[in-house]
Chain A
């Protein structure tokens, strides 16, 4: 009986932590981050990449995935503080520094059940377009209940 309660409790805790992992309130709503990093793409939750990835991205903003996203020094410095402060833990098995969230094992695991036609939908366009399905992406809310796949 006691063992069963423990199992139930452990199950509940796991569910709670899994659900919690879908919301990333740290840093996403910062007005400077929204303005500077949320114009061309969703302001990605800082938690989704480790600090070393953010550092590498910020060091190359003049050639940011083929686009000039250069910033002035003071803005860059403030954003570095924000991103590093809220950064996720580094995956010890990750190997070289990853610059794309889509390359992380977490992203791939979370999206593995998604049918291929969703990615090909013109309404999605790119896996960088989180907001195409995640209605709360701008607020860092990736809860499954707010997912709405484009038709």
Chain B
């Protein structure tokens, strides 16, 4: 898995101008799309609908994304272990979200390990971002 993830992560990094600074979420999803196209020539875009189902699924483990971020990511979430409140994930409710690409990558790395037991593919990341960014 690492073998495929690293080039993808590198592609995302290269595709992002000003990686270290704040960027609108639309730039981030464009960079993910570029990385996805490079990873698989048959890439047919991201799907908010697929992202929503993926967000709610437990993927064979104990947790889903919704375990901490709730099934309505416009609401304040709650850490499944510690009970600490988590600010809403949807940009419609929290304008800070997805504006720092390195922060997004860090949390995908951690949370994908927690929920799926592996790194997420760029397709999965793009789908879930499409879902979250599409919430009004």
Could you list which residues of chain A lie within 8 angstroms of chain B, going by C-beta atoms? 39-42, 65-70, 124-126, 128-129, 131-132
Interface contacts (Cβ under 8 Å), in number, total 39
A41 adjacent to B110 (CB under 8 Å)? no
Q: Are A68 and B81 in contact (CB under 8 A)?
A: no
Cβ contacts B87-121/A at 8 Å (1 or 0 each):
00000000000000000000001110110000000
Query: Which residue of chain A is the closest to B85 with respect to CB atoms?
Result: A131
Given A67-B114, A68-B114: A125 and B83 interface contact (C-beta under 8 Å):
yes
For this complex, 14 residue pairs linking A to B, each with C-beta atoms less than 8 Å apart, are A40-B79, A40-B81, A41-B79, A41-B82, A41-B84, A65-B81, A66-B81, A67-B81, A68-B109, A70-B109, A124-B83, A126-B81, A126-B82, A129-B82
Q: Of B79, B81, B82, B110, which contacts A70 at CB under 8 A? A: B110
For A67, what are the chain B residues with a Cβ–Cβ distance below 8 Å?
81, 110, 114
Q: Is the interface of B mostly helix, strand, loop or mixed?
A: mixed
A66 proximity list for chain B (CB < 8 A): 81
Query: What are the residues of chain A within 8 A of B83 when measuring CB–CB?
Result: 124-126, 128-129, 132
Could you say which residues of chain B place their CB within 8 Å of the CB of A128? 81-84
In the complex, which residues of chain B have a beta carbon less than 8 angstroms from the beta carbon of A132?
83
Contact residues in B for A40 (Cβ distance below 8 Å): 79, 81-82, 84
Shortest CB-to-CB span from A115 to chain B, Å, is: 18
Residues of B within 8 A of A131 (CB): 84
